[in-house]
């Protein structure tokens, strides 16, 4: 993970909570303003009928992760509407910058932002990014 993107946040340093709702191939909100160095708790809810992901990273990071997610789907660990944890093998989906949720599930990501202004949040389940399921973080510098 690039230092410009950030790192796992300490819950004690959270400055605010942002609620993010995932539906079938969209996020609400579609853009989120953050301050460089800020630690934010994202309360993520999947209200769609498909498995969705909230993943923080640069565009090239999402592209690389999409290939991993395709492998998960091909291996039967990821289905359209459920996660088969028993088939994950070594492909655990437990990175601090992402949460993968089945329909109706809630999760959270606590993230300390770095300095990059090109950070996206995206769903890398095969086909979802291409269908428009991604948004941008708007980076403010300074307090």
Tell me the C-alpha distance between 45 and 39, whole Å.
19
22-54 confidence digits (pLDDT tens): 999 999 999 999 999 999 999 999 999 999 999
Count the neighbouring beta carbons within 10 Å of the beta carbon of residue 31.
11
The alpha carbon of 24 is separated from its chain's Cα centroid by a whole number of angstroms, namely 15
What's the DSSP call for residue 132? T
Reported as a single tens digit per residue, the pLDDT across 45-102 is 999 999 999 999 999 999 999 998 999 899 899 999 999 988 876 555 678 999 999 9
Beta-carbon neighbour count of residue 15 at 10 Å? 13
Exposed, middle or buried, 69 (CB in 10 Å: 0-12/13-18/19+)? buried
pTM of the predicted protein model:
0.93
Interatomic CA distance for residues 5 and 115, integer angstroms: 7
């Amino acid at each position: 993970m690039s230092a410009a993107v950030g790192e796992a946040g300490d819950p004690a340093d959270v400055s605010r909570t942002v609620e993010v709702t995932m539906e079938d191939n969209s996020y609400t909100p579609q853009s989120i303003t953050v301050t460089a160095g800020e630690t934010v708790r994202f309360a993520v809810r999947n209200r769609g009928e498909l498995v969705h992901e909230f993943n923080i990273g640069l565009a090239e990071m999402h592209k690389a992760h999409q290939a991993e997610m395709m492998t998960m789907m091909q291996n039967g660990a990821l289905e359209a509407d459920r996660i088969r944890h028993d088939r994950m093998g070594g492909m655990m989906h437990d990175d601090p910058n992402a949460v993968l949720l089945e329909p109706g599930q809630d999760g959270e990501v606590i993230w300390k932002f770095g300095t990059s202004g090109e950070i996206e949040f995206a769903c890398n389940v095969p086909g979802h990014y291409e269908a428009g399921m991604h948004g941008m973080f708007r980076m403010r510098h300074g307090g």
